[in-house]
Structure 1
Amino acid sequence: MIDVQNLTKTYVGKTAVDGLSFKVEPGEVVGFLGPNGAGKSTTMRILTGFLSPTSGTARVNGFDVFHQSIDARRSLGYMPENAPLYMDMRVKEYLQFRGAIKGLSGSLLRKRVGEVMDACALTEVRRKIINNLSKGFRQRVALADALVGKPPLLILDEPTNGLDPNQIRHVRELLLAFKGRQTILLSTHILSQVEQTCDRVLLLHQGKLRADDTPQNLVRKLRAASDLHLEVSGGTGFEEHLAKVTGVRKITAEKQEGNWSHFTLRIEARTDIREAIFDLALKNRWQIRELRRELPTLEDVFVELTHV
C-alpha cells in the first residue's frame, strides 16, 4: 500500500528526511513515531502530495505520488495535525461538501456522511457551525473528513490531539475496528495507544529510520534494565541475600507493612531472576506475597533510540 525508497527532502541548510525506505502492507496499522523534528510530518506531506521529494520515490496503492499524484490521492484519506476546516459551515454540510469533492453523490453520499458521523460521534452536533465546536469535536470532524471517501489508506497525524480521555478511547476503538480492513499510518505521541492498536512501529530520528518492528519485539530487544517487585516476610537480612543473586544491579527498600518488606530490584537487561528468587525464598523459608517483573515499555524504546 505504501512503498518508500531512498526518500530525501532537503531544505536550505537542513535535511528533514534522509534516505528513508520502508513499506506498509495492505491492512496493516503502522505507528509512525519520532521526536519533534524527526521528519514524520514531512514524510506524510510527501505521501499525500503536499510536498515533492528532493530525491527518491514514494508510491501509494501502486501510484507514484509525484508523477501520478491525483490517482495516489484518490487512494488515501489524510488528517493533518492542525486540520484546515471551513469554519463557517455546519458539520453535516461540510462533510457532504467534502464527500462530493471526493466523487460521492446521491444516496451513496448521504449514506457515507451518516456512517462517518456515527463512527466519529458527530450526529448530535451535525447542525452546528464548526467554528462553535470545541477543539475535540473539530478533530472528530477532520477524522470524519478523512474517512468519508472510504479510502483504502488512512494517514493520520496526531488524530487524538486535543481530545479528552473518553474521546481518545473512542478513536482507539475506531482504529481497532479498522484493523485488517484498512491500511493506517498513524503518527502520535501517545505511545500506549500505539502499543494497543499498531501491528508495527516505524521510528524516525533526525530524518532516518531507527527501528522497524512490532511493538512487542522492540520492547523485547531493548537493552534497558527491568524492575522486579518483591514483597516478602519470615526472615531477616533480605537485602544481603538478594544482593548475591546474579543479575541484581540495585536493591531499593520500599514500604514496610507489618511483617512484610517490599523491595524493588533493578535487574540487568534481558535477565529474568524470578526462579532464583523463588529458590532463595524456599531455602530460607521466606513467605512471598508478590513477585512481579516490570518490563520496559515502548516509551523506554522511544527514549533509548532517540536520546542524543
Structure 2
Amino acid sequence: MAALIHIENLSRHYGDYCAVAGVSFDLQPGEILGFLGPNGAGKSTTMQIISGVLAASSGRVQLDGYDLHAEPIKAKRRLGYLPEVPPLYPDMQVDEYLSYCARLHRITRSEVAQAVARAKERCGLSAMGARVIGNLSKGYQQRVGIAQAIIHNPRIIILDEPTSGLDPNQVQEIRRLIQGLAEESGILLSTHILPEVQSLCDRVLILHQGRLVYAGPVSQQQQDRVLVSLATDNSDTRLLETLPGVRQVEPLGPQQYRLTLDGHHSPADIAEAIVKQGGRLAELRSDQDDLERIFSQVTLGEQIQ
C-alpha cells in the first residue's frame, strides 16, 4: 500500500544551525502516527515543511504520491493541517468561517454548503453553525479548527497538540473525533501527552535534536515487557534469565525486575514458569510506563535495548 506521507532524508538549516537532520519516515493509510520530542527537537519545523509553509534545505516530501517541490498545489490539496494555535477568526460565525476555508481550498461555490455540512457533522458541530467562534468553549474551538483542516476531505491530516488546554471531558471528545477521522485518512499527531499517544496511535516517532532517534509500534512496546517483583534471595536474576521466553532481565530494585519477552510467551506463561521453578512471585504486571521510559532514554542519549 502506497504511503500517504513519504519523507526522505529531510533536513533544514538556519545558517550553521541544523533544526532537522536527515529525517525519513512514512505515514500509511488509516494510521495514526504519534510524533514526539522534547521542546526544540524539530517537530514543528518538520510539520511546517510537510505542510509547505517552510522550505526544506534538502530531502524529499511526497504527499499521497505527489512531490511537494515539483507539484506543490496537487500535493497540498491532499493535506489538512491544524497548527497548535488554531487559525480561527473569533468574530466570524462557524458556518461563515468554514465557508471561507472551503473557498480557500478552491471548493466550487455549488459544493461549499455540502462540504461545510459534512465537516460540521464529522466534528460534532452541526448545531453550532450560527454561533460566533469567539463565544465557543475551547473544546468547540478545537473542533472548528479540525473542521477547517478536513473541509476539503484530505487524505492526510496533521494535528499539532489538538488537546492542549482542554479539560478531561473535552480531551476524550477530541480523541474520539481523531479516531473517527482515521477511518478515512492518515493522521500525523504531534503531542507532549504520552498517554494520548498510547491510547490513539499505531506507531510512534521520537525526534531529538533534529534527528529521528526512535520509531516503533506503540502496542508492541506495551506488550513485550513486564514488571516482576519476587520475594526471594539473590538468585532472582539467574532464575529469571532461565525462564522460557525471556530475552532480557533488567534489575530495577531489590527483587524488582523488568523482563523483555520474545513475543511468543504471555505474562501468564512467565508467572507459571516462575512458580514451577520455586520462585515466590509477589507481583507481575505489564510495563505501562514503557513509552515514557523509551522517551526518556532516547532523549537523554541512551540506547534502547
Normalising by structure 2, we get a TM-score of 0.81
Q: How far apart in 2 are the matches of 1:202 and 1:113?
A: 33
Q: Does 1:299 align with 2:292?
A: yes
Once the 2 structures are TM-superposed, how far is the Cα of residue 267 of structure 1 from its aligned partner?
Answer: 0.8
Question: What is the DSSP-based 3-state SS (H/G/I as helix, E as strand, rest coil) of the residue aligned with 1:125?
Answer: coil
Q: Does 1:270 align with 2:260?
A: yes
Q: Any stretches of 5+ residues in structure 2 without a counterpart? A: 241-248, 262-266
Residues 250 and 7 (structure 1 numbering): CA distance in 2 closer, same or farther, change over 3 Å? closer
Question: What is the DSSP-based 3-state SS (H/G/I as helix, E as strand, rest coil) of the residue aligned with 2:9?
Answer: strand
Given that residues 17 and 39 in structure 1 are in contact (C-alpha distance below 8 angstroms), is that contact kept between their aligned partners in structure 2?
yes
Q: How far apart in 2 are the matches of 1:155 and 1:194?
A: 14
Give the corresponding residue for 2:227. Answer: 227
Once the 2 structures are TM-superposed, how far is the Cα of residue 97 of structure 1 from its aligned partner?
Answer: 1.2
Q: Does 1:91 align with 2:83?
A: no
Give the corresponding residue for 1:63. Answer: 66
Give the corresponding residue for 2:276. Answer: 279
Amino acid at match of 2:275: F
Residues 250 and 221 (structure 1 numbering): CA distance in 2 closer, same or farther, change over 3 Å? closer
Amino acid at match of 2:214: A
Question: What is the DSSP-based 3-state SS (H/G/I as helix, E as strand, rest coil) of the residue aligned with 2:103?
Answer: helix
Q: How far apart in 1 are the matches of 2:296 and 2:71?
A: 38
Q: How far apart in 2 are the matches of 1:24 and 1:277?
A: 41
Q: Does 1:18 align with 2:16?
A: no
Q: Does 1:183 align with 2:186?
A: yes
- The partner residue of 1:123 within 109, 122, 126 is 126
Normalising by structure 1, we get a TM-score of 0.80
Given that residues 24 and 30 in structure 1 are in contact (C-alpha distance below 8 angstroms), is that contact kept between their aligned partners in structure 2?
yes
RMSD, aligned α-carbons = 2.7
Once the 2 structures are TM-superposed, how far is the Cα of residue 114 of structure 1 from its aligned partner?
Answer: 2.0
CA deviation vs aligned residue, 1:166-194 (integer Å, no higher than 9, x gap): 22212222222233521111111222222
Give the corresponding residue for 2:243. Answer: none
Q: How far apart in 2 are the matches of 1:211 and 1:155?
A: 20
> 1:199-218 maps to which residues of 2 (within 5 A)?
199-218=202-221
Question: What is the DSSP-based 3-state SS (H/G/I as helix, E as strand, rest coil) of the residue aligned with 2:260?
Answer: coil
Give the corresponding residue for 1:233. Answer: none
Residues 119 and 183 (structure 1 numbering): CA distance in 2 closer, same or farther, change over 3 Å? same
Question: What is the DSSP-based 3-state SS (H/G/I as helix, E as strand, rest coil) of the residue aligned with 1:20?
Answer: strand
CA deviation vs aligned residue, 1:12-42 (integer Å, no higher than 9, x gap): 3421100111122233221111111111111
Q: Does 1:30 align with 2:33?
A: yes
Q: Percent identity?
A: 39
